[in-house]
Amino acid sequence: FLPLGSSFEVEDEFLEIIGIRREQSGMYECSASNDVSTADVRKVKVTVNYPPHIPDARNIGVPLGHKGSLQCRALAVPSANYEWYRQDGRLMHGEKGVKIENKGTISTLTFFNVSEEDYGNYTCVAVNKMGNSSASIILYSSGILHC
């Protein structure tokens, strides 16, 4: 890993980065020079592909009859595709009164009118060509606060 602004010299035409990490993605600059001409400088974008990682899945409490949403955020390159599951199988958008919306790194499972049957454990699965990751998220009953 090279800190910003650092440099090194090689006598070869290739740069091999062994054990590259996703934090090392970014712009790299190559400068080739000799005693005959001015330096030739080229910029190269390096993209490090990696499997999905779900850093923080949070359980949520929603009162009966209210709208509630479960969110799943996955870091991945290339971007992840999402699937939502419950005990009885995969959930699909529009099925059983739920909406599934995927925007960027976040997938949201929305219930418009939470019923007793909706409470329970849900699994979010994030998938890309490098692998997959899953997280368990619980939708639980929360009381309504009266002021």
Residue-wise pLDDT for 32-62, tens only, equals 888 888 888 888 899 999 999 999 999 999 9
Q: Can you tell me the distance from the alpha carbon of 146 to that of 110, in angstroms, rounded to the nearest whole number?
A: 24
Report whether 25 contacts 6 (CB < 8 A): no
| Rounded mean pLDDT, 6-24 | 77
What is the pLDDT of the chain when averaged over all its residues? 89
Domain locations in the chain as residue ranges: 1-48, 51-141
Q: Please give the pLDDT value at position 40.
A: 87
How buried is 76 (Cβ within 10 angstroms: 0-12 exposed, 13-18 middle, 19+ buried)?
buried
Structural class in CATH, domain 51-141: mainly beta
Q: What is the pLDDT of residues 59-106, one digit of tens each?
A: 999 999 999 999 999 999 999 999 999 987 999 988 878 999 999 999
1 pLDDT more than 50: no
120: enclosing H helix or E strand: strand 120-128
Range 33-37, long-range pairs (CB < 8 A, 24+ positions): none
If one compares 55 and 143, the residue with the highest pLDDT of the two is 55
Backbone phi, psi, residue 93, to 5°? -55, 130
Task: Using the CB atoms, write b or e for 89-100: b if 16+ within 10 Å.
Answer: eebeeeeeebeb
